[in-house]
Structure 1
Amino acid sequence: MRILAVLALVGLAVAGPVEKRLGVPLEAEDGCNPAIGNATYVADAGNCQVFYICDHGWPKITFCPGNTVWSQVNKHEGQCEDAGDAINDVCGHIRPPPEVIDSLAGTFDPAYSRCQFQCLNAPECISAVAKCDGVTHCSDGSDEVNCAGPCNPSTCRLPNCRCSGTDIPGDLLANEIPQIVTLTWESAVRLEDYNHLLQQILKRIGPNRRREARTNPNGCPITATFFIEHQFTDYAAVQDLYFGGNEIAALSISKSLTSDYWKEASTELWAREIADQRIITNFLGKVRNEDFVGMRAPYLQGGGNRQFDMLQSNGFLYDNSMPTPQMDPPLWPYTLDYRSTQECVILPCPTASYPGLWEVPLVDWLDTNDTLCAEVDNCFFPLSKAESLTLLRSNFARHYNGNRAPFPLHLRARWFYEAHYNIEAMEEFLDELLSMNDVYIVSIDKALQWIMNPTRLNDITRSNQFSCDNSNREPLCAQPITCSYYNITYAPNSIDHQGDRYIETCANTCPQRYPWVANPEGRL
C-alpha cells in the first residue's frame, strides 16, 4: 500500500556513523550530483525512514511519516510504504515475515498478513485493516467490538450526517454548485509570515498600488483556515486574521517531534495538546471557543479512537488529518456516524461511531513527477514558476472538471521561502480562480456549512452562504503588549541550549509562565 505524503520529522534511531560533508552524507551528495549519480531520490544508509530529494543537484533531507519505510525502486522512483511492503537494500531493511494467525478464515489472505491487532481473549493476531471491516476474524469477536456500522444513505441525511463517498451533497449536479477551494495554512503564525507571505496570498495589489483583499464572487474576502502550533505564534496576528473572517484551528501546543507520541497518546493527552490550544488562543488571540472547531494532527499522525473521543467530548466539529489516494473522483467530507470507506493510509484511524463529527479528507495531489502528495510542499519541487502553475492548475482541474469536491490547497511557509517564483505562481493562480464566477476560496468551517446545507450556485449571492459578517469578532487593539519568557527548555531548545519566547497579544495581562501542555493559562 502506498503512503502518500512525505511529512515531517519523526524520532528515529540511526544505525551508525555516516561520513558527511556540510551535514549531508557523501553518498547523497554524489547521488544527486548531475555529473555523477543524476538521481531524483537517494536512500539514507543509516536510517530507513530518511531519504533525500535531489533539488537542483543538491540532496534535501526528507522523512517518511509514522512507522513507514522509504522504499527505493530505482534512482528516479520511490515512496514511503509499510515496513512489510518496502524494499530498501541501502539501509539494510528486511521485510518482516507474516505473523498472522487467522483461525476463522482458514486461508491466509494477503490483506491480513501483518500482526497489528491482537485479539483480546484469543490467540489470533490480525492486520489493522481487518479490524472493524464487518467480518469477524477473531474467535472471540473482539475485532468487531465498538465498531461503526455500514452507512445507510436513507437514514444518514444532511445536515448532521453524511456517508463517505464521492457523490455531490444535495443530489445536485456539478454545474449547479460552486467549486469550493479550502485554503489552509499549517504551522505557527509568525510575524514575518503574516507581514510578507500571508498578505500576498490573501490580498492583491489594487489600482492605487495598495494591497486589498482578494474577493469571492459574492464580494466577500477569501478566507483560510490556520492550523496553528503554539510556539513562535504571534497571537496579535492571529487575532487580526480571525477578525478578517479567517478560521483558527489546532495543530497542537507542543508539536512533539516523535510520531509515536501522537500515535500512542491517550485521550487525555490529546485534550491537553488540542483542546487546551483553544484555551490559549481564546485568551491570547481573542478567538471565541465556539469558532475554534477543527484540528489537524501533527505530521498527519492520528491517534485513532482516542483522538476522536477527545474531539467529540470537547465539542469539535471536524478533523483534517487523513490523507486519501481517492482523487479521481475525489472524496467529499463526511461524518463519522458510520463506517468510513476511506482508506486508512496512516494508522491508526477511527473505527468507532462519532455522530455529527466530520472528517475532511486530505485529498492527494498528483505532482509533476507523477507522485502522490497531500500538501503542496510535499510534492516534487517545481523548478520554475511555469512548473508551479502546472502543479496548481492540473490538480484544480481534476476537481473542477469532476464532481467538484472541495479542492484542498494546503500551504506551509517553506514552499515559498525555498523559491521566490512559488509565491508569484500562487498569486497568479488565485487571481485566475477568482476570475471565475463559480469558484469560492473559503475556510474549512465555511465549506462544511455549505455541505450541511447545499445551495445552488445561482442562489449563493442571495443567501448568507460564505458571508463576511464578522461583527461578533474583536478587532486588533491599537497597542498589543509583548510578553517575554526566558530560559525556555522546550524543543527545539533544551536544558543545555535554552531559548527565549515572545508573545504579542491584545490580552490585558501576560500569563505568569509560558503557556504549555498541562498549563495552558500559564499559571505559576
Structure 2
Amino acid sequence: MGVKVAILFAIFAVALTEALETAEPCDPSKCQLPDCRCASTNIPSGLRAQDTPQFITITFDDNVNTQNIATYREVLYNRRNKNNCPIGATFYVTHEYTDYTLVNELYNEGFEIALHSISHKSPPSYWATASVEELKQELGDQITQMSTFANISESSIKGVRMPFFQMAGNNQFQVMAEAGLTYDSSWGATNSINPGLWPYTLDYASPQECNIGPCPNASLPGLWVSPLLAWVDNSGYTCTMVDSCYSSPGPQDDRGWLEFIIRNFENHYHGNRAHFGFYIHEAYFTSHPAAKRALVRFLDLVDNLYDVFVVNASEVIEWVKNPIPVDEYLKQSCKTNDRRECASKICGPYKSDHSEYEQEYRLNICSSCPASYPWVGNPLGLDKSN
C-alpha cells in the first residue's frame, strides 16, 4: 500500500466506527465555493449561460487493452481545444485484462485515469451491500495497484465510477474520503437534465433522484458528485450510457448518429451548459461503427466553437470550484500530467482462484513482476507464504 493511502486510512480509522450525521437540507448561505456547493441547476457563481464554458466529458469504462487502445489513439490523440490545450477523456479502469503499459501511455497523453474497482464483481447487489472493508479492498487498494503497475501518480487518481452504476451508500463515500478521492461519477440523473444538474458536494442532503440505491444520506463534507446527466433517445426515453439507449440509430447510420449526438449536446449548449457526457464502453463501437465515426465528426464540429472544451471529468469540478467566464478560461495555462516512464515487463503466466474458469493470466506492467496474480485482498500480488 502506498504511503499516502496508508496514512489516510490510519487517520480515518477511528471515524469509521462513529455514526455519521444525517445530512440536512442545503443552506446556500453556509455552503459556498470553492469547498461546498448545493445541488442545483444554477450555473456556478451566477454566470450567464453565454459566458459559461460548455464542457464535454468523454469517458470509457473497464479494462484498457491492445484492442481498444487503437480506438483511443484514432479518436482522441492529437486534438486540441480552442485554448490550444489537448482535449481530455477519462478512463474508469478495472484490473482484469488491463495492460498497464497502455494505462501509462494514456496518462502521459494527459488523459485522466480513474477507478472502476479491481474486480467489477457480479452481481450488482454485491456492491449495494458492500462493507467499508470490502470497498477499501476494491477502491482504496486499486489506487496503489494502478499507481504501481502503470507507474502513474497516486495524487492524479481522483474519481470513482462504481460497477453497474450501483451506488454503495455512505460506505462508498467514507472509503473515498479515506483514500483521498475527490468525486463520484456513478450517480445517474434522469430528471434534472434540461436544465442539467451541475456537480455538487455532499456536505448537505442531495435532492438528486436515487435510481440505483443505496445513495448516501450522511453529511460527507468536501466529497463531490458529478451527476451522470442522461441522454434522451429517439423514442423519448432517458439513458445514461450511450450504448444503453433503447432507441438509437442503426449500426451503420452515420447521419442518424451524428444528429443523435448533436441533439443531446444542444440540450446542454442551448440550456444551462451543465457538462455534456459521452459515456460509453469502447466495445460498442465494434457493433455500431457509425457511432465511432459520428463521434469523430462531432469532435471536428465542436472544434469550431470557441466556448466548447473537451476535458477530463475532474477538470469540470475544478472549474466549478473556481468558476470563470469563457474569455478568462481561454487564457489559462494548460494542465498536464507529470510524464512517467514505463520500464515495460511481461509477467506470468499466473493462475488465480478468483475465476471459475481454468485460465492463465499475463500482466503487462511498468514495475517488477509480482509473485502471484494481483487481486482483491492482495492488490500487488505479494508473496504471502512467509
**Structure 1 and Structure 2 fold alike (TM over 0.5):** yes
Check whether the contact 1:243–1:476 (CA below 8 A) recurs between aligned residues. Answer: no
Q: Which structure carries more helix by proportion?
A: 2
Output the amino acid matched with 2:288: A
- Of 133, 140, 145, 1:268 maps to 133
Deviation for aligned residue 1:462: 2.1
Match of 1:139 in 2: none
Q: Which structure carries more strand by proportion?
A: 1
| Residue 346 of structure 1 pairs with residue 215 of structure 2 | no
Q: How large is the RMSD of aligned CA atoms in angstroms?
A: 1.4
| Percent of paired sites with the same residue | 37
Cα deviation code 1:442-470 (max 9, x no counterpart)? 01111111111111111123223xx1433
Check whether the contact 1:376–1:415 (CA below 8 A) recurs between aligned residues. Answer: no
| Residue 357 of structure 1 pairs with residue 226 of structure 2 | no
| SS of alignment partner, residue 425 of structure 1 | helix
| Residue 277 of structure 1 pairs with residue 137 of structure 2 | no
Q: Distance in 2 between matches of 1:395 and 1:476?
A: 39
Check whether the contact 1:377–1:414 (CA below 8 A) recurs between aligned residues. Answer: no
Q: Distance in 2 between matches of 1:324 and 1:523?
A: 41
Check whether the contact 2:64–2:98 (CA below 8 A) recurs between aligned residues. Answer: yes
- Of 49, 74, 83, 1:174 maps to 49
Match of 1:390 in 2: 259
Match of 2:12 in 1: none
Match of 1:502 in 2: 362
Match of 2:65 in 1: 190
Check whether the contact 2:351–2:373 (CA below 8 A) recurs between aligned residues. Answer: no
Deviation for aligned residue 1:441: 0.3
- Number of residue pairs matched by the alignment: 361
Cα deviation code 1:401-445 (max 9, x no counterpart)? 000001111121122010222211110011111121110000111
Structure 1 unpaired stretches of 5+: 1-143, 204-212
Match of 1:252 in 2: 117
| Residue 201 of structure 1 pairs with residue 75 of structure 2 | yes
Check whether the contact 1:489–1:499 (CA below 8 A) recurs between aligned residues. Answer: no
| Residue 424 of structure 1 pairs with residue 284 of structure 2 | no
What pairs up with 1:457-468 in 2 under 5 angstroms? 457-464=326-333, 467-468=334-335
What pairs up with 1:193-232 in 2 under 5 angstroms? 193-194=68-69, 196-203=70-77, 213-232=78-97
Cα deviation code 1:155-198 (max 9, x no counterpart)? 1111110000100011111111110011111110111111x211
| Residue 370 of structure 1 pairs with residue 236 of structure 2 | yes
Output the amino acid matched with 1:341: P
Q: Distance in 1 between matches of 2:89 and 2:359?
A: 31
Match of 1:329 in 2: 195
- Of 351, 356, 360, 1:487 maps to 351
| SS of alignment partner, residue 283 of structure 2 | helix
| Residue 154 of structure 1 pairs with residue 12 of structure 2 | no
Deviation for aligned residue 1:145: 8.2
What pairs up with 1:510-521 in 2 under 5 angstroms? 510-521=369-380
Output the amino acid matched with 2:352: I
Cα deviation code 1:231-257 (max 9, x no counterpart)? 011100101111111111100000001
What pairs up with 1:11-160 in 2 under 5 angstroms? 146-160=21-35
Q: Distance in 1 between matches of 2:135 and 2:322?
A: 31
TM-score (norm 1): 0.67
Deviation for aligned residue 1:515: 0.8
| SS of alignment partner, residue 150 of structure 1 | coil
Check whether the contact 2:20–2:219 (CA below 8 A) recurs between aligned residues. Answer: no
Check whether the contact 2:350–2:372 (CA below 8 A) recurs between aligned residues. Answer: no
Output the amino acid matched with 2:98: T
